[in-house]
Amino acid sequence: MEETSLSQRIAARVLAEPANSPGLANRATFLGIRSEVQRAIEEGWSLLAIHSALHEEGVITFGYQAFRRYVNTLIPDKKWPVSRLAQDKSGQ
């Protein structure tokens, strides 16, 4: 039986309470997909491509700038492919 981490339990509680601020719900949503986002980054996808896919699939509802902020603050030791970082900065 897999034990749920404290972070996962907190995220579930935040998402279950509709009275919480949207910022907390967005952060909880991001924390739930953080490992998937990190894996996509490591595989060389740009943040814009990752955000677009997740947004189109309805996984996230928040904008690209918030998504970038979550990536930069909640994914430690990112390994940014140089070409993908340059594309993100140019808005592609």
> What are the tens digits of pLDDT across the range 3-33?
777 777 887 887 787 666 777 889 989 998 9
Would you state the structure tokens that stand for residue 88, as one six-digit string?
């993100």
Q: What is the tally of structural domains in the chain?
A: 1
pTM beyond 0.85: the answer is no
| Structural domain harbouring 37 | 6-90
Q: In this structure, is residue 20 part of a structural domain?
A: yes
Please enumerate in sequence order all residues whose Cβ is within 8 A of that of 10, keeping only pairs 6 or more positions apart, or say none. 28
Q: In this structure, is residue 1 part of a structural domain?
A: no
Could you give the CA distance from residue 15 to residue 11 in angstroms, rounded to a whole number? 6
